Amino acid sequence: MFTDSSDIYDLVYSFKDYEKESADIIQVIKSARPECKSILDIGCGTSEHHKYLSKYFSIDGIDLNDKFIVTSKQKNPSGHYSVANMKQFDLNKQYDVIICLFSSIGYLQTVDEIISALKCFNKHLKPNGLLIVEPWFNKDNWHKGKVHMIASDKEDIKICRMNRSYLSGDFSILNFHYLVGNMDKGVQHFQEEHKLRLTSKEEMFNAFKLADLDVTFDEKGLIGRGMYYGNKKTTP
Ligand SMILES: C[S@@+](CC[C@H](N)C(=O)[O-])C[C@H]1O[C@@H](n2cnc3c(N)ncnc32)[C@H](O)[C@@H]1O
């Protein structure tokens, strides 16, 4: 995953408008759950959204990557952050809203893992809680065989990430090549393989239902990848 690129994650994704995305999330939460006070972010990464969300809510996060957890704590000192696997975790706490953004759920490799994760999310929601999941693509809307490049050009560091993605069964495989240049280390090259499951809308809907969550889907979402909304039932 982001093992070798953890230190440059925020630079690689500096093109992403986290402030606007957070404003959109805040609007959804204020309208759907005006009483919301607490949020758990699953697969929080470096918690860039939390810079904005923490002005309105108390927000905690979990991620598999320990370096991201350190960065998250620095960005939002009042939040509780821990290394945990979304497939199976227990924070012994419930939240008004749970978010899982920027396709973090796409890293789960089977439908059973998605069901197990969603059941776990449900367990961490208060009654009438809201789950917001931004998915990865599915086989119908993922453009296979594309060459993709992201560049970040700062005074003291230059980064280029390029990949040629391909389809393998139910998976999109993204083999990222990074070129990172700075005065200290010169120009370094490394690779990272990201394997994300192309889960269909039908599989996701079934998974939400099996996790006892009422589900709706918004085609557009934050950045065109869509958004699932899961409502926890108030009565069992
Ligand atoms: C594309 S990043 C998104 C990070 C962040 N939500 C954002 O919007 O920038 C995907 C994140 O999911 C995390 N992740 C992937 N699989 C995970 C798992 N099974 N449990 C917890 N985190 C996971 C990765 O470590 C990574 O931080």
The residue whose CA has the least distance to atom 27 of ligand 1 is: 45
Flag whether 1 is in a domain: no
> Which residue matches tokens 């589900």?
215
| Number of domains observed in the structure of the chain | 2
Distance (angstroms) between ligand 1 centre and the Cα of 236 equals 30
The verdict on 110 and 173 lying in the same domain is no
Give tens-digit pLDDT for 50-99. 999 999 999 999 999 999 999 999 999 999 999 999 999 999 999 999 99
Asked if 1 and 192 touch (Cβ cutoff 8 Å), the reply is yes
The verdict on 43 and 156 lying in the same domain is no
| Residue 205 banded pLDDT, cuts 50, 70, 90 | very high
What CATH code is carried by the domain that includes residue 188? 2.20.130.10
Measured from the Cβ of residue 24, the count of other Cβ atoms closer than 10 Å reads 15
Average pLDDT of span 36-62: 98
The verdict on 122 and 210 lying in the same domain is yes
The verdict on 112 and 180 lying in the same domain is no
Residue (of 175, 199, 200) closest to 189 by Cα position: 175
| Ligand 1 atom at minimal distance to the Cα of residue 103 | 1
Question: What does the pLDDT read at residue 200?
Answer: 97
Give tens-digit pLDDT for 125-145. 999 999 999 999 998 898 877
Residue (of 31, 211, 21) closest to 134 by Cα position: 21
The residue whose CA has the least distance to atom 13 of ligand 1 is: 43
Average pLDDT of span 189-208: 97
The residue whose CB lies within 8 Å of the most ligand 1 atoms, and thus the one to mutate among 63, 66, 174, is 63
The verdict on 81 and 168 lying in the same domain is no
Distance (angstroms) between ligand 1 centre and the Cα of 43 equals 4
pTM: 0.97
DSSP classification of residue 13: T
Q: Which tokens in the block code for residue 102?
A: 């920027």
What lies within 8 Å, CB to CB, of 88 at 6+ separation is: 116, 120
Write out the residue range of the structural domain in which residue 20 sits. Answer: 6-138+200-232
